[in-house]
Amino acid sequence: MPTSANIAQPRPKRPPRVREKPAAASEGELPVDTSEAPERIAKVMARAGLCSRRDAERWIAEGRVSIDGTILTSPAVTVTGESRIVVDGKPLPEPERARLWRYHKPTGLVTTHRDERGRATVFAALPAELPRLVSIGRLDLNSEGLLLMTNDGALARRLELPSTGWVRRYRVRVHGTVESDRLASLARGVAIDGASYGPIRAQLDRQLGSNAWLTLSLQEGKNREVRRVLEYLGYPVTRLIRLSYGPFQLGNLARGAIEEVPKKVLQDQLGTGGGPKAPRKG
């Protein structure tokens, strides 16, 4: 008969693992994504406000970045929140909360960080004390008006999508005598040289001799969309001003000025889930 010494004793059950809930965002801050899914190292560096993704890849190739003590030679690496990332001998800074700015872009500036043709850029014109910003959409060289900027690349990409339902509104001066029924045809969408453009609400505000002022509202943001559809109708654009982007308005913001959207306003407009609220009907 076996003794109690050589009878296998049942192992004590481990208490169930309890995952702690993430701390709630403080008032006015967007909720932080606390998932532990691996992300590309260049994306993490850009979100920390250190550089662009392209610069991050270049810095990695130059041997300036290490993860957990190992110097990287390729940007094809993913990291988690547990990874220790060091750039130029310094730990990667914690990412800032998502912030948003309204900028009144003047004409004569391109919406890019570096221009191959050496033209002046909107980012070079910004105050030096601002963090590294990216634009939400673009305005071309000869366009002006509201340009939203953020320190959060993921937020920028999210707010650029037509799925937000946010309307972009433009005040446009064109050359020619405008026919209202031709403008109304844009409400059905239009295809030009193989490119499809969604419905556009267009109205004639004033006809002044050989020029006219229009207001256009659309939910897409394709490259030079407003100019292309109006030129397709035979009305070349001579001035283009963006008045609003979703709930954010140009208002009386001075040309060349930039102003941060208050935290509470940002939270109210994006909703508690960190994404844009559905547009109000009507």
Catalogue the active-site residues. 140
Map tokens 């130029």 to a residue: 88
At 71, list the tokens.
């110097």
Q: Report how far residue 192's alpha carbon sits from residue 189's, in angstroms, rounded to the nearest whole number.
A: 10
At 255, list the tokens.
């040309």
Q: Report how far residue 152's alpha carbon sits from residue 132's, in angstroms, rounded to the nearest whole number.
A: 9
Q: Report how far residue 36's alpha carbon sits from residue 52's, in angstroms, rounded to the nearest whole number.
A: 22
Cβ(92)–Cβ(102) under 8 Å? no
Map tokens 């190992």 to a residue: 70
Closest to 227 measured CA to CA, from 157, 139, 165: 139
Q: Report how far residue 272's alpha carbon sits from residue 28's, in angstroms, rounded to the nearest whole number.
A: 10
Cβ-proximal residues to 62 (8 Å cutoff; 6+ apart), any chain: none
Cβ(82)–Cβ(70) under 8 Å? no
- Helices assigned H by DSSP within the chain: 41-47, 53-61, 153-160, 180-184, 225-232, 263-270
Write phi, then psi, for 4 (nearest 5 degrees). -65, -20
Q: Report how far residue 105's alpha carbon sits from residue 39's, in angstroms, rounded to the nearest whole number.
A: 33
Q: β-pairing, 144-150 with 237-245? A: parallel
